[in-house]
Amino acid sequence: MKNNLEEIQMKPLGESAITVQFGAEISPVINKKVKALASKLQYESFSGFIECTPAFASVTVFYDPFIVKQAYGEKAKTSFQIVHATLERMLETLVEDEESKPRIVEIPVCYGNDFGPDLDFVAAHNNLSADEVIHLHASAEYPVYMIGFAPGFPYLGGLSEKIHAPRRPSPRTSIPAGSVGIAGSQTGVYPISTPGGWQLIGRTPMALFRPDRDQPSVLSAGDIVKFIPITKEEYDQYQERWQ
């Protein structure tokens, strides 16, 4: 399927990056275009290309302006204009892979109590029991739209409207690594200890960020996450395995 270039915006981000904006909403349809362009850039990059960062509805492309100018030698054009034109040509032939199957990553979670101090708040906010919140949270499949905020932090889509909850009025100064939270229409996992304002409903013993590995983040944009409820005893057993 060819893209309508009139609906896509490309804007400079400083002197060595350009952001390709496919839309302004969190949408599986838009995110599919994001993943298609990011994949194409990895396998069909241009001279001067450094890396790209996919987000919910955009891809930011980083490049070396000096190498771009040297490679394409177009004196009348700036590096931004050259990269802009290159990306336009890529978008004209961009194909979304309908057959690709996302990687499914199961994340064990111990819900409630000390691991999920805000579970009761989320339940009361939605006129549900804590068990109903756990069931709704663990019964969905969540696409990973992007990794950001903190190393390895996954922004996930697909949270049931029945368990949406506002951020905390005052962020916590320190959240334990592995904490699973809800903020508005999103859910995610804190891979490292960090301040944060999401409502915490559980914790996973699985280490999602491992800086000693070639690929430190366990999750990547395009993956599917499934949360698996576990007991405190199972949490302790998993922790020995994952740490």
Over pLDDT 70: what percentage of the chain? 93
Burial label for 109, CB within 10 Å (0-12, 13-18, 19+), is buried
User: Which residues is 143 bridged to in the sheet?
Assistant: 224
Q: Cβ distance 132 to 120 under 8 Å?
A: no
Identify the pLDDT of residue 1: 43
Q: What is the dihedral of CA 149, 54, 103, 36, to 10 degrees?
A: 170
Reported as a pLDDT band with limits 50, 70 and 90, residue 221 is confident
* Residues above pLDDT 90, as percent of the chain: 54
The confidence score (pLDDT) of residue 232 equals 93
Q: Give the chain's radius of gyration (CA, Å).
A: 20
**Least confident range of 93-102, 163-172, 214-223:** 93-102
Residue with token string 């399927």: 1
**Torsions phi, psi for 47 (to 5 deg):** -60, 125
Q: What is the mean pLDDT of residues 208-237?
A: 89
Residues in the chain: 243
Tens digit of each residue's pLDDT (9 = 90 or more) over 131-170? 999 999 999 999 888 887 778 889 898 899 999 999 999 9
Given CATH 3.20.190.10, say whether it is the number of domain 5-92. Answer: no
pLDDT on residue 146 = 81
Average pLDDT over residues 203-216: 87
Summary mean pLDDT of the chain: 88
**CATH code of the domain made up of 104-242:** 2.40.100.10
User: Model-level pTM?
Assistant: 0.72
C-alpha separations of 185 from 13, 41, 108, 207 in Å: 28, 30, 21, 24
Report the pLDDT averaged over residues 16-34: 85
For residue 57, the number of C-alpha atoms closer than 13 Å in the C-beta half-sphere is 13
Q: Check pLDDT > 70 for residue 2.
A: no
Q: How many CB atoms lie within 10 A of CB 188?
A: 24
The domain limits of the chain are 5-92, 104-242
- When pLDDT is averaged across residues 176-191 and rounded to a whole number, the result is 94
- Greatest mean pLDDT among 122-126, 204-208, 211-215: 122-126
HEC secondary structure over the chain: CCCCHHHCEEEECCCCEEEEECCCCCCHHHHHHHHHHHHHHHHCCCCCEEEEEECCCEEEEEECHHHHHHHHCCCCCCHHHHHHHHHHHHHHCCCCCCCCCCCEEEEEEEECHHHCCCHHHHHHHCCCCHHHHHHHHHCCCEEEEEECCCCCCEEECCCCHHHCECCCCCCEEEECCCEEEEEECEEEECCCCEEECCEEEEECCCCCECCCCCCCECCCCCCEEEEEECCHHHHHHHHHHHC
Of 34, 33, 36, 55, the closest CA to residue 44 belongs to: 36
Summarised one tens digit per residue, pLDDT across range 37-62 is: 988 898 888 999 999 888 888 899 99
Q: What is the rounded average pLDDT of the residues 181-209?
A: 94
Q: Are 203 and 113 in contact (CB under 8 A)?
A: no
Measured CA to CA, the distance from residue 213 to residue 49 in angstroms comes to 24
pLDDT of residue 33: 87
Q: How confident is the model at residue 34 (pLDDT cuts 50, 70, 90)?
A: confident
